[in-house]
Structure formats: C-alpha cells, structure tokens
Amino acid sequence: MVADFSDLEREFPDAVRALRSGPLPNPQSERPSEQLWHSISSAVAQERSGGLRLVDEFDSPNGRDQTRFRQVSSPPMVDDSQRGVGNGINPDFAQSVAEQDSSVVEMAPRRLGRRMAIGFASAAAVILVGIPLALGLRGENSPGLDGAAELAAIGNSSADGEAALTGRTLSVGIDALESAPESSTYELWLLQVDAAGAPVGIEWIGTVDNTATVDQTFEVPAEIDTGLYTVVDVSIEPDDGDLSHSGNSILRGQLTQS
Amino acid sequence: MTAMICEMVATLEDRLVTGEDSALRDMFDEYGPLVLSICRRLVGDDAEDVAQQVFLAAWRGRLSFDPSKGSIAAWLAGISRFKSIDFLRAKGRRPSTPDEHIADRQAVEPAVNGVVDQMVLASALQTLPPARRDVITLGFYENLSHPEIAARLDLPLGTVKSHMRRGLEAMQRELEGSYGRRLL
C-alpha cells in the first residue's frame, strides 16, 4: 500500500482494512430461486393472517377443491430449542381434531417470533377453542401448575421481582428496574429446563413495561405447556428485527408450586 | 441513470417502512443475490434456509431500518450476519443457557464478520459512481499512488483524492450500517 493512503486508513479504518484483506468476492454470485421466494412470501402471508390461512392449491395435493386450515409454522432453520420454539399444541388434542374432521390437518407445533405471538395466540385460540367448539369437541391441555417465583437479578441489574402463575395468567412485579438501553425493550419469556437446569425451550410471553416499577399480567398462550415451561426470564432485547432471545437476561426465577 | 436508481431505492425504502407487499418482492429481487451469496459462503448447503430467515426477520423488523445508517443492502447484510451466527452456533452444539448465548456468538463472530465485511464492501463498490469505483480499485488492487491514478485516468490529482475519499466514506458507512445496533 502506498504511503498516501495512511490518512485514509485513519479516517476509514474498517473500509480500508476490509479492502486490504484480499480480492473482493462477487456479492451476487448466486441468484435465489423462485422456490425461496415462495417460502418467504408464504410465511409472511401466514403471519399477516395471524397464524391461519386458507391452504391454496400449492399445498393441497388435490387442488382447490380441498379447503382446510393449517396452522402457521415458522420456517426451518435453527433447531426448535435454539429458536425459542416450544412443544406447542398438545398433540393429543390436535389429533382429536384431525380425527373428527379429516380436512383439518397439519397442526405444525411451531412458534412465531415474539412480535407475532399476539396474533398467533389469537389464531391458536381459534384453533384450540373455536374449531373444537364448532365441532362439539373439548380440548384437554396439559393442566400446568399454579406457582410463584422469586425473580433474581442477573449480571449488573439491581432489579428484583416476583412472578405468579394462576391458570394461564402470569403476573409479574418488578422493583428498581433500570431504564432499558436505547432502542431496546424488556421482554418476558418462559423457559423449559432439563434436569440439569439447562434451557431446552424458550417461549416469548410479552413485553415488560420500561418503568422502574412493573406490575403486569400476561396471558400465557394456550400452546405453551405451563407444566414444562416453569422458569420466568426477563431479557433486554435490541430492536434489531431478531426475534429470538438476545441472551442478555436481567431477571430469572423458577416457578414452584404454590 | 444514477438518479433513477436512487429514486427507485428511495421508493423501495419508503414502501418497506410502510409495509407494502411489493416492497418485499422488490427487496428480494434486488438484494436476494447478495443475501444468498453471503449465506452460501457462511453456511453452505443451508444457505436457503438462512436466507429465508433473513428476509422474514427483515420484513418483521422493517421499522428498524434507518436509511441514515446505511443502505438496504447493508441492513440486510447485517441481518444475514447475525442469522448466520445464530445458525452456526446452533449447528455446533445443543441448546445453551441464555447466559451462554453471547459467549457462543463471540466464538463464531470473527470468521463471519470477515466474510460479511468483504461482501458488504464488494456490494458497496458496485454501487459507487464509476469514477470512484475506478479510483478505489486502482488504489487498492493495483497499488497505484494518487498521482499514478491521476495519470492513468487522466484526472486532476484533487479529483482523484476527492473520489477516493468519498468512495471510502460511502464504503465505511455501509460497513457500519451492516453492523446495525447488534454489537455483541
């Protein structure tokens, strides 16, 4: 590199370093397929419809004459426990619905991101309540456990709090909560842990108020088995479009049966 | 031509923020090759799956796009960066505790960042006005000095320096935009 670039290197260090790191690759070496577009647009359409959509001829082996509903499934990539995907719909219940009406199929038990969870929960309610009612059925979810948890601070947080689960209502109280970092929010999660205490499932529950004192209640979506998801976790989530857990938790506690 | 392209990009930015359906398709058509090329280099056979995640995350998080911090290309490259890191981390091991999340990210980040940085720069270089692109290419890949570039391109020395500075400025901005706010 010639001498008269040293000033530029000081001024634009990252660009100069990357330019010097070798020949630049072709940034358009591959054109995506229409199949990839279809998978993206289908997933977006499903999310927009709040988790339900009428399956079109693409999905139906018999063409348009088959009308059925299908639950949203998030696209495949990371394994479920990494993406905060829970066990989802009670399979016995899903099967009971399918057996009653063979046109209702493919209850893929996967979860959307946290910002879609409200719409998803509404849709799940349609599936879990509306359809069985219409069919004269009654679903049986895992009963779960009513319980309470002390929420202990993690890292540098000075906040503390408690959580209580009654049925599907999760109450959370927090004191001395610091202001969330700029462009971040506090988010509430339920974790499923294995015998060693390592999380094997993460589910988003809702957004926690960014106030010094928090007193909120959340409805736990029906597809989350509260008998398994027993650890309450509050994290800081940057507003970056990534819907998975940031790994930056500030409060956590184990629900114990009350 | 440049003005037309700028106008088209600005329109796409606007439509992206307002969530118009056409913006997703246009974004896929325009930047799908960049996203897929990045993913291919980082995760190989799983590139389509990760690219799908990138566009879904971009669509869900479209309000987080800030044109003042870089182009859509840089923004998508940034999402590709952390989606690929997530994927590589998940592939390498079983679920970790959330506390370990950051440590795992850091383990795979340097290699990913090296690849993504180069792709962002390559993409940015393509969008530079030709004179700036030529000056940077001659300076960095033919190791010519400013006077030598001036002679080669038959441009005043001051113009060469201006092209170099403005070109690098744009590329630096794109790199910074590709890191977004996620600086783990």
pLDDT of residue A49: 64
Q: Indicate yes or no: CB of B51 within 8 angstroms of CB of A32.
A: yes
SS3 A20: helix
**Closest chain B CA to residue A85:** B95
ipTM above 0.85, yes or no: no
Give the burial string for A217-237 (b: 16+ CB within 10 Å, else e). Answer: ebebbbbbbbebbbbbbbbbb
User: Is residue B184 one of the residues assigned to a domain?
Assistant: no
Give the range of the structural domain holding residue B60, as residue numbers without chain letter: 2-179
pLDDT given for residue B99 in this prediction: 53
Token pair for A82? 């990494």
Q: Which residues contact A95 (CB under 8 A, 6 or more apart)?
A: none
CA B184 – CA B174 distance, rounded (Å): 18
Q: Report whether pLDDT(A82) > 80.
A: no
Task: Determine how many CB atoms are found less than 10 A away from the CB of residue A66.
Answer: 13
pLDDT of B134 reads 95
The winner for highest mean pLDDT among A65-74, A198-207, B86-95 is: A198-207
Higher pLDDT, A29 or B109: A29
Report, as an integer, the average pLDDT of B136-144: 92
pLDDT for residue B53 is more than 60: yes
pLDDT at residue A167, rounded to an integer: 87
- In this complex, do A32 and B40 lie within 8 Å of one another by their Cβ atoms? no
C-alpha–C-alpha distance, residues A175 and A158, integer Å: 9
> Mapping DSSP to helix (H, G, I), strand (E, B) and coil, where does residue B69 land?
helix
Which two structure tokens, joined as six digits, stand for B72? 């859509």
Residue A59: pLDDT above 60?
Answer: no
In chain A, residues with a C-beta closer than 8 Å to the C-beta of B128 are none
Cβ within 8 Å of residue A135, ≥6 positions away: A97, A100, A101
The distance of Cα A64 from the centroid of its chain, to the nearest Å, equals 32
Report the share of chain B in percent with pLDDT over 70.
83
Lowest mean pLDDT among A160-164, A209-213, B19-23, B130-134: B19-23
Average pLDDT over residues A48-69: 34
**CA-to-CA distance for A155 and A158, rounded, in angstroms?**
9
pLDDT at A13 over 50: yes
- d(CA A16, CA A161) in angstroms, rounded, equals 48
pLDDT for residue A238 is more than 60: yes
Q: What is the pLDDT of residue A243?
A: 67
B158 has a pLDDT exceeding 80? yes
Mean pLDDT score, A150-171: 90
> Based on the structure, what is the number of domains in chain B?
1
CATH, residue B106 = 1.10.10.10
Q: What residue spans define the domains of chain A?
A: 35-134, 147-257
Chain B residues whose beta carbon lies within 8 Å of the beta carbon of residue A21 = 114, 117-118
| Closest listed residue to residue B139, CA positions, set A7, A15, A2 | A2
**Å from A229 to nearest chain B CA?**
14
Domain A147-257 listed as CATH 2.60.60: no
Q: What is the pLDDT of residue A115?
A: 35
Q: Which two tokens stand for residue B61?
A: 């998080």
* A30 interaction partners in chain B (CB closer than 8 Å): 33, 36-37, 40, 47
Answer yes or no: are the C-beta atoms of B46 and A77 closer than 8 Å.
yes
Whether B163 is covered by a domain: the verdict is yes
> In terms of pLDDT, which residue wins out, A43 or A112?
A43
Task: Tell me which of B4-8, B146-150, B165-169 is least confident.
Answer: B4-8
DSSP A69: E
